[in-house]
Amino acid sequence: MKQCKTITNLFGVLIVLLFILFGVGFYTFYNAKGTSYFSYDSKSCNNCHIMNDVYNDYLNAPHSKKVAGKPRASCVDCHLPHNFIDKWIAKGKSGLSHAYSFTFKLDELPTNLSANSNSKIMVQNNCIECHGEIASNVINSTTTPHNDRSLSRVSCHTGVGHKRGF
């Protein structure tokens, strides 16, 4: 009988802890405007103050200029794969990484976020996908004529998306 009461108490404590964890997670998701990250709107990338400079650069760059009421390209168009499944996997990884950093590594955060190697590859692939036909007349983006110093879209047009963090 005593063992049954101990198990019941442990179960009760576990339920309370799960409820607290869910409450904290919901509160954090709500305050971080979590639902906005399911959109393709570049404003959601500026939910955090660390992106203010990069977002302002984007607003002054050619890709943010509107055509038929929509920007030429959003942050998602450049920084995430265009394939549906790959996009959501990359978005999930990035979101979890940012959530972890903003929760547990506040003292280590840079002034502006910088693209990691995976992000740079995604941006390069997206540049080629959107502008490959035009740019192929200038350089062959599928080869590396200069070994590891090959030209990339962003090296030729550094201010097109934004000036910082790449």
Here the contacts of 45-53 (C-beta below 8 Å, separation 24 or greater) are 45/75, 48/98, 48/102, 50/109, 50/110, 50/111, 50/112, 50/113, 51/112, 51/113, 53/111, 53/112, 53/164
Q: What is the reported pTM? A: 0.66
Across the chain, mean pLDDT equals 76
pLDDT in tens, 73-101: 888 888 889 999 999 899 888 878 877 87
124: Cα within 13 Å, side-chain hemisphere = 17
